[in-house]
Structure 1
Amino acid sequence: MLQVLFSSNNLHVIFQSEVFAVAFALLAAGAIILTLNVLLLGGHIIFFQSLSLLGYCLFPLVIGALVCMLKDNVIIKVIVVSVALAWSSWAAYPFMSSAVNPRRKALALYPVFLMYVSVGFLIIAID
């Protein structure tokens, strides 16, 4: 959904395919890195937890991208993305905290937060 929103704007066809490729690569690499991170931290992650991190927890950023598509003001985009980023990070906390040792929660949540920040920057940059 996020990739369709990125590529549905009134952009040139070549730029649309580049944006789609970047969004796809970012989310695919993020999913792989997040899964490996949890496994290397001695945790256990099942397939459904990985899907929850990418689907359920990215949904606030998708809503933020929808709102940002309608508004052209950069300040409004930054505020909307900041709220969506906080919401996504808050939603990811229970999934990651149940997958790893309680002492390693911060190590597991940091890459998730970085992926969400990079998606947020994509939302702000695409106009």
Structure 2
Amino acid sequence: MDFDNERIDISDDLSGSMTISGGSKRLRGMKGTDFDTLDEPIKETILRDVRAVYTKFKNVLHPQRKNNILKEWDLWGPLVLCTFMATILQSSSENGENDGGPEFAEVFVIVWLGAIVVTINSKLLGGQISFFQSVCVLGYCLTPLGLSLLVCKILLILFSQSTFIFLLRLLASGAGFAWATYASVIFMENSQPPKRKALAIYPMFLFYFIISWLVASHTH
């Protein structure tokens, strides 16, 4: 009888071990499905990242008083925007002579160095936002200026230069400047101390103003 009791106890223990093992396997399966991306196909990873970038672009085009764009920062969107704008804004050379416009590398330096300076200023003022979150927001908020640049480029292709066309380009770049500044303020104002918001907004104003002037003054 004692032996039978011991056998029953052992089988109970084994049964319990199997249940725990099965439970842990299910847990690992759930974890792998929800959070682990090591086994995720490359296509799914790329599509997920593209959807995240698209969502941030959409948030910039329709800014609201929420910080969803700050939850998961990335620099893919800013990199694409910066490359696009630098490609269009770069000076063209005719007969070995520069037309006076900025070079590709100069536009890159202006955008990234400007974003870094604005971010450092925000941090020194006590902003509750990480370095890369700030650069991410400033980069994505270039979207309206990128659209303005595209409009200006189309106007230059379709029509010859005139005072009226210049005013249209100036209007487009001004609208992009206002839109970009407004979007960045909406996303970052809650991260700044209440009494220092003006000091944090002023460098952003200058940053987007310089870029908008590059857009408006582009003539080739």
TM class by smaller structure:
0.7 to 0.9
* Other structure's SS at 1:71 match: helix
Give the match for residue 63 of structure 1.
147
Identify the match of residue 113 of structure 1 among 190, 201, 205. Answer: 205
Query: 1: CA distance between counterparts of 2:112 and 2:136?
Result: 11
Identify the match of residue 39 of structure 1 among 120, 123, 127. Answer: 123
Shift of 1:48: 2.5
Shift of 1:98: 2.0
Q: Does structure 1 conserve the Cα–Cα contact (< 8 Å) formed by 2:115 and 2:207?
A: no
Question: In percent, how many aligned pairs have the same letter?
Answer: 31
Q: 1:48 and 2:133 equivalent?
A: yes
Instruction: Output the TM-score relative to the length of structure 2.
Output: 0.52
Q: Does structure 2 conserve the Cα–Cα contact (< 8 Å) formed by 1:43 and 1:99?
A: yes
Q: Does structure 1 conserve the Cα–Cα contact (< 8 Å) formed by 2:119 and 2:135?
A: yes
* Other structure's SS at 2:103 match: helix
Q: 1:90 and 2:182 equivalent?
A: yes
Query: 1: CA distance between counterparts of 2:190 and 2:147?
Result: 26
Higher mean C-alpha deviation, range 17-26 or range 82-91 = 17-26
Shift of 1:112: 0.6
Alpha-carbon deviations, 1:17-40, whole Å to 9, x = none?
Answer: 942122111112111111110111
Query: 2: CA distance between counterparts of 1:70 and 1:18?
Result: 19
Q: Which has a greater percent of helix? A: 1
Runs of 4+ in 1 over 4 A off after TM superposition: 13-18
Higher relative contact order (CA 8 A, sep 6+): 1
CA RMSD of aligned residues (A): 2.0
Query: 2: CA distance between counterparts of 1:54 and 1:98?
Result: 18
Gaps of 5+ in 2: 1-83, 157-164
Query: 1: CA distance between counterparts of 2:126 and 2:206?
Result: 21
Q: 1:29 and 2:113 equivalent?
A: yes
Higher mean C-alpha deviation, range 16-25 or range 92-101 = 16-25
Gaps of 5+ in 1: none
Structure showing greater radius of gyration is 2
Q: Does structure 2 conserve the Cα–Cα contact (< 8 Å) formed by 1:61 and 1:120?
A: yes
Instruction: Output the TM-score relative to the length of structure 1.
Output: 0.87
Q: How many residues align?
A: 124
